Amino acid sequence: MYDLYYSETCPYCRKVINYFEENNIKFNPKEINNPSYYDELLKIGGKAQVPFVVDIKSGVSMYESDDIIDYLKKNNKV
Protein backbone atom coordinates (compact mmCIF):
# COMPACT_ATOMS: atom_id res chain seq x y z
CA MET A 1 0.00 0.00 0.00
CA TYR A 2 1.10 3.53 -0.72
CA ASP A 3 0.45 6.96 0.74
CA LEU A 4 0.28 9.63 -1.94
CA TYR A 5 0.55 13.27 -0.92
CA TYR A 6 -0.87 15.42 -3.69
CA SER A 7 -2.57 18.66 -4.66
CA GLU A 8 -5.77 18.74 -6.71
CA THR A 9 -4.38 21.46 -8.99
CA CYS A 10 -1.03 19.79 -9.72
CA PRO A 11 -0.79 18.16 -13.18
CA TYR A 12 2.13 15.98 -12.05
CA CYS A 13 0.02 14.67 -9.19
CA ARG A 14 -2.80 13.90 -11.62
CA LYS A 15 -0.32 11.93 -13.75
CA VAL A 16 0.59 9.74 -10.76
CA ILE A 17 -3.03 9.34 -9.64
CA ASN A 18 -3.99 8.28 -13.15
CA TYR A 19 -1.24 5.67 -13.13
CA PHE A 20 -2.42 4.27 -9.80
CA GLU A 21 -6.02 4.12 -11.02
CA GLU A 22 -5.33 2.76 -14.51
CA ASN A 23 -3.25 -0.07 -13.05
CA ASN A 24 -5.54 -0.85 -10.11
CA ILE A 25 -2.84 -0.11 -7.54
CA LYS A 26 -4.30 0.71 -4.13
CA PHE A 27 -3.18 3.91 -2.46
CA ASN A 28 -4.15 6.29 0.31
CA PRO A 29 -4.76 9.74 -1.20
CA LYS A 30 -3.62 12.55 1.10
CA GLU A 31 -4.58 15.95 -0.30
CA ILE A 32 -2.25 18.55 1.21
CA ASN A 33 -4.96 21.21 1.49
CA ASN A 34 -5.80 19.24 4.63
CA PRO A 35 -3.45 20.79 7.23
CA SER A 36 -2.74 17.47 8.95
CA TYR A 37 -1.61 15.87 5.66
CA TYR A 38 0.47 18.95 4.85
CA ASP A 39 2.18 18.66 8.24
CA GLU A 40 2.77 14.92 7.66
CA LEU A 41 4.35 15.69 4.29
CA LEU A 42 6.75 18.18 5.84
CA LYS A 43 7.63 15.81 8.67
CA ILE A 44 8.24 12.79 6.42
CA GLY A 45 9.62 14.40 3.27
CA GLY A 46 11.12 17.60 4.56
CA LYS A 47 9.64 19.89 1.93
CA ALA A 48 6.27 21.01 0.62
CA GLN A 49 6.59 19.37 -2.80
CA VAL A 50 4.08 17.06 -4.44
CA PRO A 51 3.57 14.45 -5.65
CA PHE A 52 5.25 12.56 -2.83
CA VAL A 53 4.75 8.85 -2.31
CA VAL A 54 5.54 6.56 0.61
CA ASP A 55 5.66 2.80 0.09
CA ILE A 56 4.31 1.77 3.48
CA LYS A 57 5.60 -1.80 3.19
CA SER A 58 9.21 -0.99 2.30
CA GLY A 59 9.51 2.49 3.80
CA VAL A 60 10.73 3.93 0.49
CA SER A 61 9.62 7.50 -0.18
CA MET A 62 10.18 9.83 -3.11
CA TYR A 63 9.23 12.95 -5.02
CA GLU A 64 8.96 13.45 -8.81
CA SER A 65 6.13 11.95 -10.84
CA ASP A 66 8.32 10.07 -13.32
CA ASP A 67 10.42 8.54 -10.54
CA ILE A 68 7.26 7.50 -8.69
CA ILE A 69 5.78 5.87 -11.79
CA ASP A 70 9.05 4.06 -12.56
CA TYR A 71 9.10 2.76 -8.98
CA LEU A 72 5.49 1.60 -9.24
CA LYS A 73 6.21 -0.19 -12.52
CA LYS A 74 9.17 -2.06 -11.00
CA ASN A 75 7.43 -2.96 -7.77
CA ASN A 76 3.93 -3.86 -8.98
CA LYS A 77 4.66 -6.00 -12.02
CA VAL A 78 2.54 -3.76 -14.25
pLDDT of residue 55: 97
Helix (H, G, I), strand (E, B) or coil at 56: coil
Q: What predicted TM-score, i.e. pTM, was given to this entire model?
A: 0.94
pLDDT of residue 6: 98
Say if strands 2-6 and 27-31 run parallel, antiparallel, or are unpaired. Answer: parallel
pLDDT < 50 stretches in the chain: none
pLDDT of residue 8: 95
pLDDT of residue 68: 98
DSSP state of 37: H
Edge-first strand listing for the sheet containing 27-31? 27-31, 2-6, 52-55, 61-63
